[in-house]
């Protein structure tokens, strides 16, 4: 008998943990239908994770075996009741980037690292009010130190101007709207004290830097939809529309559960009038984007190319992010066969990332350690050069 008092029928196969943030990315009706199709029955709720019995109902043959998703294999009844045990099991496939830091940096010696960072949930905590997703001064300092040593880009679903307003650093690349609005730093060499002699200036113009916007032609339609959606959902308490320039975000973290389905219907009713756009989902947010072949993975590739690293075998892209939209960047790094995709998550989830960090506090610790490692490596190299008469 499960926790809801309903006896199981058919053979019981095991347990499957589902990220509660994913559960809230759908309406109640959608969530029920999806999991009925999967043959899942809720067993227990543990913190941010919901535990389900995993069965699949075949049309005329009762319940049939179905393997666990690849990244959550091995979860059993004990692990499902113990979120920490489940997390440690998951980390066997996605070890902590802090705990294996030396393993990560050892092959990086003599190679170039390019750092890519998501914003919400990575550099700042996820908060109820998206306008108050501030990063700490300590995080800002760590990102600044990293960007002094490595080319650094922040790729976010937010508008580029909003992310820049939060971060307030000049020597980083800003890619807003999931990479559809990219701006390079100013070209002044003093902005890049440790990597100013690289091929980076090819991307720059004097002044405010170069801007790349592959979805520029969609701006008028985005503004039309923005006004229509704001009008449609004005009476839904807690719903919030954010103008991300090339994307529209509809936040529903503070919307009552009984209003979620109505909210989605209203958003879709507007979207249906614009066939060149599509709906995606993030953490407690619906997003409308132009239907072009462009995502955070493409933004990563674009920046590597403009930095002169398109076909380089001695560059290691390092990407840290917490959202499903970051998976596109993880896939690119996997395909390249070199680099470090790192997911930020405090619960097990399916991902293409190779490493993990639990939360923004661990991101802070990792970035600080990365800057210290690079500084120590630079000092060591200078000392060796002086010993051999190669330095001043």
Class of domain 217-290: alpha beta
Tens digit of pLDDT for each residue in 22-60? 444 444 445 444 454 444 434 333 344 444 433 333 333
Class of domain 101-214+294-378: alpha beta
- Cα angle 319, 151, 364 (rounded to 5 degrees) comes to 50
Query: b/e for 87-118, b at 16 or more Cβ within 10 A?
Result: bebbeebbebbbeebeebbeebeeebbbbbbb
Pick the closest to residue 324 from 306, 351, 347, 342 (CA basis). 351
For the entire predicted model, the pTM comes to 0.77
* pLDDT (0 to 100) of residue 70: 38
Assess whether the region 101-214+294-378 and the region 217-290 belong to the same CATH fold.
no
64 pLDDT above the threshold of 80 = no
Q: How confident is the model at residue 81 (pLDDT cuts 50, 70, 90)?
A: low
Q: What is the 3-state secondary structure (H, E, C) of 55-99?
A: CEEECCCEEECCCCCHHHCCCCHHHHHCHHHHHHHHCCCCCECCC
Q: Where are the domains of the chain?
A: 15-90, 101-214+294-378, 217-290
- Cα angle 278, 275, 271 (rounded to 5 degrees) comes to 60
Virtual CA dihedral for 332, 335, 337, 341, nearest 10 degrees? 40
* pLDDT (0 to 100) of residue 282: 84
Pick the closest to residue 114 from 85, 74, 77, 155 (CA basis). 155
Q: How confident is the model at residue 313 (pLDDT cuts 50, 70, 90)?
A: confident
Alpha helices in the chain (DSSP H): 20-23, 28-38, 77-81, 83-90, 101-105, 137-149, 160-167, 219-232, 260-271, 296-306, 327-336, 360-387
- Cα angle 39, 40, 42 (rounded to 5 degrees) comes to 155
Q: Percent of the chain having pLDDT more than 90?
A: 64
């Amino acid at each position: 008998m499960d926790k809801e008092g309903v006896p199981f029928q058919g053979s019981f196969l095991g347990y499957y943990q589902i990220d509660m943030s994913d559960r809230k990315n759908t309406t109640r009706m959608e969530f029920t239908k999806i999991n009925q199709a999967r043959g899942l029955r809720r067993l227990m709720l543990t913190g941010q994770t919901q535990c389900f019995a995993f069965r699949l109902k075949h049309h005329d043959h009762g319940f049939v075996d179905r393997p666990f998703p690849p990244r959550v294999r091995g979860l059993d009844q004990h692990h499902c009741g113990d979120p920490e045990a489940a997390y440690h099991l998951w980390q066997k496939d996605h070890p902590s980037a802090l705990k294996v830091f030396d393993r990560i940096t050892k092959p990086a010696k003599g190679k170039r690292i390019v750092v890519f960072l998501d914003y919400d949930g990575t550099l700042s905590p996820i908060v109820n009010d998206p306008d108050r997703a501030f990063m700490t001064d300590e995080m800002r300092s760590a990102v600044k130190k990293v960007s002094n040593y490595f080319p650094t880009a922040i790729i976010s679903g937010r508008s580029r101007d909003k992310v820049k307003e939060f971060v307030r650093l000049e020597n980083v690349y800003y890619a807003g709207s999931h990479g559809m609005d990219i701006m390079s730093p100013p070209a002044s060499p003093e902005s890049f004290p440790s990597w100013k002699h690289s091929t980076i200036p090819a991307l720059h113009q004097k002044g405010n830097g170069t801007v790349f916007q592959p979805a520029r032609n969609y701006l008028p339609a985005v503004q039309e939809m923005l006004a229509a959606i704001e009008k449609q959902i004005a009476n839904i308490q807690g719903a919030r529309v954010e103008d991300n320039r090339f994307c529209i975000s509809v936040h529903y973290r503070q919307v009552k559960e009984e209003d979620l389905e109505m909210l989605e219907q209203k958003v879709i009713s507007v979207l249906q009038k614009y066939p060149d756009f599509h709906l995606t989902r993030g953490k407690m947010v619906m997003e409308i984007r132009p239907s072009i072949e462009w995502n955070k993975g493409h933004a990563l590739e674009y920046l590597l190319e403009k930095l002169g690293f398109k076909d380089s075998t001695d560059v290691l892209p390092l990407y840290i992010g917490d959202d499903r939209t970051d998976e596109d960047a993880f896939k690119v790094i996997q395909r390249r066969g070199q680099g470090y995709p790192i997911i930020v998550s405090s619960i097990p989830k399916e991902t293409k990332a190779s490493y993990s960090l639990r939360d923004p506090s661990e991101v802070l610790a990792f970035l600080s350690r990365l800057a210290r490692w690079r500084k120590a490596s630079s000092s060591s190299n200078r000392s060796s050069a002086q010993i051999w008469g190669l330095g001043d």
